[in-house]
Amino acid sequence: MTLVETAAKKLAILVVDDELIVRESLGAWFREDGYKVDTAENARDALRLSAEGRYDVAFLDIKMPGIDGLELQAKLRESVPDLAVVVMTAYASVDSAVRALKAGAQDYIVKPFDPEQLSALLRRIEETRALRSENVRLKSALDRAAAPPIIGDSPAMRRVLEVIASVARTDATVLIHGESGTGKELVARAIHQQSARRYNPLVAVHCGALAEGILESELFGHEKGAFTGAAYHHKGKFEQADGGTVFLDEIGEISPKVQVELLRVLEEKRVTRVGGKSSIPVDFRVIAATHRDLRALAKAGEFREDLFWRLDVVSVEIPPLRDRREDIPLLARHFTEQLGRSMNRKNLRITPEALEALKECDWPGNVRELQNAIERAIVLGRKDVIDAKDLPTRPAGGAPAASARSLQELERAHIRKTLDETNWNITHAAAILEVDRGTLYNKIRKYELAKPGHVA
Ligand SMILES: Nc1ncnc2c1ncn2[C@@H]1O[C@H](COP(=O)(O)OP(=O)(O)OP(=O)(O)O)[C@@H](O)[C@H]1O
Ligand SMILES: [Mg+2]
């Protein structure tokens, strides 16, 4: 099916001309083509008709007594902004036609008309409209796909959601603070997705993971020959994000030198590539995140205070999960459903007892740790029901709520046991654990497991 065919609805047309013969001949021709047509002999009637019905296209005579076609065009478009206007003129008076086009008319035609040309014109309008609505549809599908939901109904999370919604409408710099795994990156993505910049890139930089020199060239780019090995020029993240958003994760980790450079970029909205001579203007919005108390660091002189104030225009505080326990069951159900869907296990569910047990946990690794725990329960469990005993909330011996370390220890122990039972047959063990062999190898490396008798 073509796009034009998907625009099932035929256009509704309004013809406005003071000459009866024009109204009647255009009306007859369009109706023959299957369009719905109304006619008016002056602007007043046209406005009345337009107030009552919805038109997609208006054919307006430019020269009419009283309100002329150009003025009528402006008035009609006030109430129907997406009305397609075609002006008609008996004289090939180009400048009134040009004025109409400048004011947003789709096209103009010169009397006497060639009927075939009129039909072609309407088909073109139909096509543009179909494309436009297809675009709107694709864009909203894109929006939905790109923005994972933020789950949470606690007062604290509601506040976070409110700040996201209001700050997304601005270009203000945002500083997100929260412990590891609380959803800082998720919030940054939501702000970008809800902002006018959403069709431009969101570029994330994990500042903590990079050495100073590399971070500089990552952020600001470098020119060819800026340093040994710089064989080509390289666009930095700020340039890559032009028109979009730069997400500076773990901003508390950047060195004093990079702090100075970043401050300058934020102030000037221009970047100078490493080894470059001139600065390049860029259009970006900054969202920064940190798990550290940046204000305290700034006070203590460990982070530039001027940079802190530049970043902390709007602050978002995401509380740790243990301070909003009412979100735990919502999140747990959400992850169960989500993982169930992605693993094609539609009947997966989690028992109320399991939810209660999860609520008792302190979750030092916050939402990420909870998500991992659910995933593990699903992967390691055999049934479609996740019960309290499938969750590493109460380690053997009835010890109090598990810490991040003991969760991992539990996984480690489980894997080791399975490996020992299968005599380290990786394929067999992976099958029992219902993970692929690559994942199992990664876990073995991560937990530094070794076959008894072997030196790791
Ligand atoms: N409120 C929430 N609703 C749904 N999913 C969430 C929520 N908060 C966090 N998550 C999920 O938890 C995981 C961790 O979130 P994210 O990476 O945003 O945390 P973070 O604060 O950036 O962590 P870190 O400091 O370790 O980088 C992600 O998979 C994210 O989708
Ligand atoms: Mg993060």
How many structural domains is the chain composed of?
4
- Residues 346 and 307 placed together within one structural domain of the fold: no
Which residues constitute the domain of residue 214?
155-319
For the Cβ of 152 lying below 6 angstroms from any atom of ligand 1, the answer is yes
- Residues 419 and 359 placed together within one structural domain of the fold: no
Long-range CB contacts (within 8 A, 24+) of 420-428: 420/452, 424/451
- Residues 295 and 278 placed together within one structural domain of the fold: yes
Q: Domain ends where: 287, 319, 351?
A: 319
Residue 176 and residue 291: Cα distance in Å, rounded? 8
- Residues 21 and 43 placed together within one structural domain of the fold: yes
Q: In a mutational test of the pocket of ligand 1, which residue from 185, 318, 338, 370 has the highest number of ligand atoms less than 8 Å from its CB?
A: 185
Residue 150 falls inside a structural domain: no
- Residues 165 and 312 placed together within one structural domain of the fold: yes
Residue-wise pLDDT tens digits, 272-291? 999 999 999 999 999 999 99
For the Cβ of 285 lying below 6 angstroms from any atom of ligand 1, the answer is no
| pLDDT for residue 145 | 59
CB 27 within 8 A of CB 15: yes
User: For residue 87, how many other CB atoms are within 10 A of its CB?
Assistant: 26
Q: In a mutational test of the pocket of ligand 1, which residue from 186, 287, 334, 338 has the highest number of ligand atoms less than 8 Å from its CB?
A: 186
Residue 214 and residue 253: Cα distance in Å, rounded? 14
CATH code where residue 261 lies: 3.40.50.300
How close is the Cα of 401 to the center of ligand 1, in Å? 21
For the Cβ of 371 lying below 6 angstroms from any atom of ligand 1, the answer is yes
Q: Domain ends where: 93, 112, 141?
A: 141
Q: Which residues, at least 6 apart from 430, have a Cβ–Cβ distance to it below 8 Å?
A: 436, 437, 439, 440
β strands within 292-332, DSSP E? 314-318
- Residues 179 and 296 placed together within one structural domain of the fold: yes
Q: Which residues, at least 6 apart from 348, have a Cβ–Cβ distance to it below 8 Å?
A: 336, 337, 339, 340, 378, 384, 385, 386
CB 73 within 8 A of CB 85: yes
Residue 146 falls inside a structural domain: no
Residue 148 falls inside a structural domain: no
- Residues 132 and 259 placed together within one structural domain of the fold: no
For residue 227, give both structure tokens: 């340093």
CATH code where residue 372 lies: 1.10.8.60
Residue 209 falls inside a structural domain: yes
CB 164 within 8 A of CB 175: no
Q: Which residues, at least 6 apart from 258, have a Cβ–Cβ distance to it below 8 Å?
A: 207, 212, 215, 216, 219
Torsion of CA 207, 211, 214, 215, to 10 degrees: 20
- Residues 205 and 328 placed together within one structural domain of the fold: no
Going residue by residue through the chain (456 aa), what tens digit of pLDDT does each one get?
333 333 446 889 999 999 999 999 999 999 988 899 999 999 999 999 988 878 999 999 988 888 888 899 999 888 787 889 999 887 666 678 778 888 888 888 888 888 888 888 888 888 888 888 777 777 766 665 567 899 999 999 999 999 999 999 999 999 999 999 999 999 999 999 999 998 889 999 999 888 888 899 999 999 988 887 777 888 999 999 999 999 999 999 999 999 999 999 999 999 999 999 999 999 999 999 999 999 999 999 999 999 999 999 999 999 999 999 999 999 999 999 998 888 888 889 999 999 999 999 999 999 999 999 999 888 887 788 988 888 875 443 333 444 545 677 788 888 988 888 888 888 888 888 888 888 888 888 888 888 776 544
Residue-wise pLDDT tens digits, 229-262? 777 888 999 999 999 999 999 999 999 999 999 9
CATH code where residue 447 lies: 1.10.10
**Global model pTM greater than 0.75:** no
- Residues 314 and 407 placed together within one structural domain of the fold: no
- Residues 137 and 118 placed together within one structural domain of the fold: yes
